Every structure is written in structure tokens, then in C-alpha cells.
Amino acid sequence: MMMTLIVVGVVSGALLIGAAWGVYFGLGRKTEGFLVALAGGALLLSVVSELIEPSISRSSVLLAMTGVLAGAIVFTAADYLIDEKWGEKSGGGLLAAVTLDGIPENLALGVALIGAGPLEVAALAGSILLSNLPEAAGSAREMAASGMPRYRVMLLWAGTAVLLSAAALVGNVALVGVSEHALAAIRCFAAGAVVASLATEVFPKAYREDHHLAGIATAIGVALAFGLGALAGT
């Protein structure tokens, strides 16, 4: 349980650090674009190697395909509604990305921590952390720029961090003994939500902010995730 609390604290705490970075210290647009692309590259590899592939090997391809599609549909629908209500420049889209892919993502992280050592979940936890920092920073900056008071921005992200921490703890405690098919469905739903967020929020934003280096930053993220995965396998 102590290892679970440490990993969950680090991953969810990255949201608060990122939000504070974006609201109080500023973030250059090119820097933000580079970091968002890097985070997207890391998640791109991790959703395949840490969520989808294990689900296929332990359950079935059909269940994995269904879970991925369901996650993508739910994220896209919610993201559309938030954008329509808050507007494209309010930061709501990235908040939706962090929250809607984060809940099943952190459930999956909690499941992965069951009976596992720290290195066995290093790839997924590291990629989530890499993703949370720049996404929270960029979204919080846009919320503050749209006129939302800074304290409200920080309260909103603090609530998001608590929600995602709870999801990871539920995954680690309440899902012990659940069938592999159910766990596979959770992992693949998370993967689908992540894929949708990458396509609709993360990579387009990275390209807008720094289209020259977005591809290189994405490749660096993939390489970092690959390195974390290799470390976890040693």
C-alpha cells in the first residue's frame, strides 16, 4: 500500500505542479508545445505496451477492440460538450483530456500496482507523469488567461488530482480479485480515451505551438517511454 500511495502521489501531484507552473510562472508557447508533444509520444507507446497488449494476452482481441472504441467515444463526446460550453480557448479541452482519460488510466495504474514492484509500473506511471505536467500547465494557463481567478484554477486542478488519486486507489484496493476480462476492459477503455485525447487535444496543440519540433519531441517521448519499459523489464 505504501508503494501505491507514493506512485499515486507523484503522478497526481504532477497535476498541481503543472497547474502552478502555468498559472504563476508562465510557460512559453514553444516550450509548452514541445513538452506536450513529448508527453504525447510517451503516452502513445505506453498505451500500446502497458494497456492494450497485456489486455489482449490475458483476455481477447475483441474485448480489447471494444474497450478502446468505447473509451474513445466517451472521451470525444464529453470533450465536445465541454468545448461547446467553455469555448476552445478556455483550457476545458485539456482538462477533459486529463480527467476523462485519467480516471480509467489511474484505475489501470492501480490495477498494475497489485502485487507489482516499482519497476514493473515505471513505464506507465512515468508516462502519465510526463503527460500530466505539460497538459496541466497549458490548460491552467489558458484558464487564467480567459479571466478565471487563479485560486479557482488551482482549486479546480486540486479537485482533479484528488479525483484521479481516488481512482488509482480504487483500482488498487477494490479491484483485487476481479477477473482478467474486467481488468482488460478497464485498461482498454483507458487506452481508447488516451488515444482520442492524443488525436483531438494533445498533438494538434503541440503542432500549433511549435510545428517545427513537434515531431522530434514526439519521438523523444516515445524513446523515453521505451527506455522506461526496458528498465521495467530488467
Residue closest to 40 by CA, chosen among 32, 28, 51, 29: 32
Distance (Å) of CA 181 to CA 188, 206, 223: 10, 35, 30
pLDDT > 90? residue 131 = no
Q: What is the mean pLDDT of residues 4-9?
A: 76
pTM assigned to the model: 0.77
Q: From CA 180, how far away is CA 190, in angstroms rounded? A: 15
Report the Cα 180 to chain-centroid distance in Å: 23
Domain ranges of the chain: 2-232
Question: How confident is residue 217, by pLDDT bands cut at 50, 70 and 90?
Answer: very high
The pLDDT of residue 175 is above 60: yes
Q: At a CB cut-off of 8 Å and minimum separation 6, what does 214 contact?
A: 33, 34, 37, 203, 206, 207
Q: How far out from the chain centre does Cα 133 lie?
A: 10
Q: Which of 39, 153, 183 is nearest to 97 (CA)?
A: 39
pLDDT over threshold 90, residue 90: no
What pLDDT is recorded for position 85? 65
Closest to 7 (Cα-Cα) out of 225, 191, 224, 169 = 169
Quickly tell me which residue has 486540486 as its cell: 158
Nearest to 75 by CA among 195, 204, 206, 205: 195
Q: Choose the weakest-confidence range: 29-38, 106-115, 132-141.
A: 106-115
Q: Which residue has the cell 483507458?
A: 190
- N-to-C CA span, the chain: 23
> What is the tens place of the pLDDT at every residue in 13-68?
888 998 898 888 876 788 888 988 998 898 888 888 878 988 899 889 999 999 99
Other Cβ atoms within 10 Å of 148 Cβ, number: 17
> SS3 of 178, please?
coil
Is residue 130 over pLDDT 80? no
